[in-house]
C-alpha cells in the first residue's frame, strides 16, 4: 500500500467588496475557492500543470472533487490539501488568484504543515484570534447568533 505525502496549507482570504460598489458580498465557499485555484493553476501552468497538480492532489477517481478541504466564510480561512511534490506550484498559483467571480480577492498563507492535526491547530489559533478581534471591534453590536456560529466552527472535527 502506498502512502501519499500531503501538505496542508492554511490560507486567509482578503475580499475587497468596497472598491466597486458590489451589489452582493462574496460568500467564500469550497466550490468557488476551488474553482479559482484550478483556474489559476491552468492559467499560470497550463493544461499539463493542471493535470499534474490535480492528479497528485486528489487521485484519479476524485479528480473533480474539492481541493479546498475546509472554509470558514466568517473568518475567510481555508485549508487546502496538496501533495508534497506539488505544494509549491499550488501555493504559487494561489498567490496569483486576483478575483473570485468579479470580486477582487487575495490569499495569504498562514501555515504549511505535513499533518492535518497541526494544520487544524494553526487554523483554530488564527480563527480564535480573529474572533477576539471581531468581538473587540464590534463591541455591543455583536449578536448571540454570531457568537454561537463562531463557537460551532471551533468545535468542528
> Measured between alpha carbons, how far is 15 from 106 in angstroms, rounded to an integer?
7
Average of pLDDT values for 23-46?
86
For the stretch 116-142, pLDDT in tens is: 889 889 988 888 888 888 778 877 777
Q: Where does residue 31 rank: exposed (0-12), middle (13-18), buried (19+ CB within 10 A)?
A: exposed
| pLDDT at residue 60, as a whole number | 38
Average of pLDDT values for 75-97?
89
- The residue ranking higher by pLDDT, 52 or 80, is 80
- Return phi, psi of residue 77, to 5°: -105, 140
How many CB atoms are located within 10 Å of the residue 1 CB? 2
Least confident interval from 60-64, 108-112, 146-150: 60-64
| pLDDT at residue 141, as a whole number | 76
Q: Which band of pLDDT confidence, cut at 50, 70 and 90, is reported for residue 95?
A: very high
| pLDDT at residue 149, as a whole number | 73
Q: Write the CB contacts of 139 (distance below 8 Å, at least 6 apart in sequence).
A: none
| pLDDT at residue 97, as a whole number | 93
Is 78 in contact with 11 (CB distance < 8 Å)?
A: yes
| pLDDT at residue 155, as a whole number | 63
Tell me the domains of the chain and their CATH numbers.
Answer: 6-154 (3.30.70.3250)
> Measured between alpha carbons, how far is 150 from 40 in angstroms, rounded to an integer?
30
Q: Which band of pLDDT confidence, cut at 50, 70 and 90, is reported for residue 8?
A: very high
| pLDDT at residue 23, as a whole number | 60
Distances in Å between the alpha carbon of 51 and those of 2, 31, 39, 124? 20, 19, 12, 32
Q: Is the pLDDT of residue 1 over 80?
A: no
For the stretch 44-67, pLDDT in tens is: 999 888 888 776 555 433 444 557
| pLDDT at residue 11, as a whole number | 92
Amino acid at each position: 500500500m502506498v502512502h501519499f505525502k500531503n501538505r496542508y496549507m492554511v490560507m486567509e482570504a482578503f475580499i475587497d467588496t468596497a472598491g466597486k460598489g458590489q451589489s452582493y458580498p462574496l460568500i467564500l465557499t469550497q466550490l468557488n475557492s476551488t474553482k479559482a485555484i484550478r483556474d489559476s493553476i491552468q492559467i499560470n501552468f497550463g493544461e499539463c500543470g493542471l493535470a499534474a497538480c490535480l492528479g497528485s492532489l486528489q487521485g484519479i477517481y476524485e479528480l473533480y472533487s474539492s481541493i479546498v478541504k475546509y472554509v470558514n466564510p466568517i473568518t475567510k480561512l481555508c485549508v487546502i490539501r496538496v501533495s508534497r511534490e506539488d505544494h509549491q506550484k499550488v501555493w504559487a498559483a494561489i498567490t496569483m488568484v486576483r478575483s473570485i467571480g468579479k470580486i477582487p480577492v487575495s490569499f495569504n498563507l498562514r501555515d504549511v504543515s505535513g499533518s492535518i492535526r497541526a494544520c487544524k491547530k494553526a487554523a483554530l489559533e488564527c480563527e480564535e484570534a480573529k474572533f477576539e478581534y471581531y468581538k473587540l471591534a464590534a463591541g455591543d453590536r455583536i449578536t448571540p447568533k454570531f457568537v454561537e456560529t463562531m463557537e460551532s466552527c471551533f468545535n468542528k472535527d
